[in-house]
Amino acid sequence: MNPEKLVFAQTVEALFVRALENRLTPACREHLRRAGLDLDQKLERAYTLEQWREFLRIAAGHVYGGVPAEAAYYSLGERFMDAYFGTFFGRALLGVVRLAGPRRALLRSGLGFRAGNNFSEVKIVERSPTSLELWMNDVLADQPTFAAGLLARAVELCGGQRVVSLPEEFDGTSATYHVRWSELPSEAALSATGGGPEGASRPRA
């Protein structure tokens, strides 16, 4: 029997406590509470994947009401990655992956995903030094653009420029992402982004 798919507390915390803290209305927080996420209480150690997907649906509808779902989920993915790299562990990791660069960071992305849940699998085919295909067994959301935004923002934070992250062959669970970017030398990338996630961020709705 396959184990139940679980999303760990640190993943939920990154998005709903850190990234969206000031954007969740009382109505949204109540909707989340009814779905199993009470942000006024200590988080559970893990939530089921279906609960996580429902939390994302609620956030997309409340925070990005009127925005097409694909764009809403892409923005949620970007915000999640910003928040993740803003944690104590994430800041330490960011320094390492910036030195490694986008390519090496993506090649190790499977470990990052598995730190946040118990089911993610990633397979990568390199197409060039700045282009690859990344297959995920589960895109973590109703829309594959959530992981597309997450991957794109990760590459940007690692020093990638003009990043493109496109999902293809989405079957409702798995998808293949085509990710490409251009690179600056590590020193230039650090200078361009201000040396931290705050400097790397760009305004988003």
Among 81, 141, 83, 88, smallest CA distance to 106 is for: 81
Radius of gyration over every alpha carbon of the chain, rounded to an integer in angstroms: 16
The pLDDT value recorded for residue 91 is 72
Instruction: Assign residue 195 the CATH number of its domain.
Output: 3.90.1520.10
The answer to the question of residue 114 being in a domain is yes
φ, ψ of residue 128 in degrees (nearest 5): -165, 175
Which pLDDT belongs to residue 185? 58
CB of 193 closer than 8 Å to CB of 199: yes
For 160, the domain range is 1-200
The predicted structure's pLDDT at residue 155 = 94
pTM, rounded to two decimals: 0.85
What contacts 45, CB < 8 A, 6 or more positions away?
A: 8, 9
Instruction: State how far the Cα of 156 lies from the Cα of 181, in Å rounded to an integer.
Output: 9
Q: Per the domain annotation, does 89 fall within a domain? A: yes
Residue 110 to residue 98: CA distance in whole angstroms: 17
The DSSP code for 67 is S
Print pLDDT tens along the chain (205 aa). Answer: 678 999 999 999 999 999 998 999 999 999 999 999 999 999 999 999 999 999 999 999 999 999 999 999 999 999 999 998 877 666 777 777 777 789 988 998 888 888 899 999 999 999 999 999 999 999 999 999 999 999 999 999 988 999 999 999 999 999 999 999 998 654 444 454 444 433 333 334 4
Q: Is 77 exposed, middle or buried (0-12, 13-18, 19+ CB in 10 A)?
A: buried
Instruction: Tell whether 205 is covered by a domain.
Output: no
Which strands, in side-by-side order, build the sheet including 122-128? 122-128, 131-136, 175-183, 160-168
Per the structure, the count of domains in the chain is 1
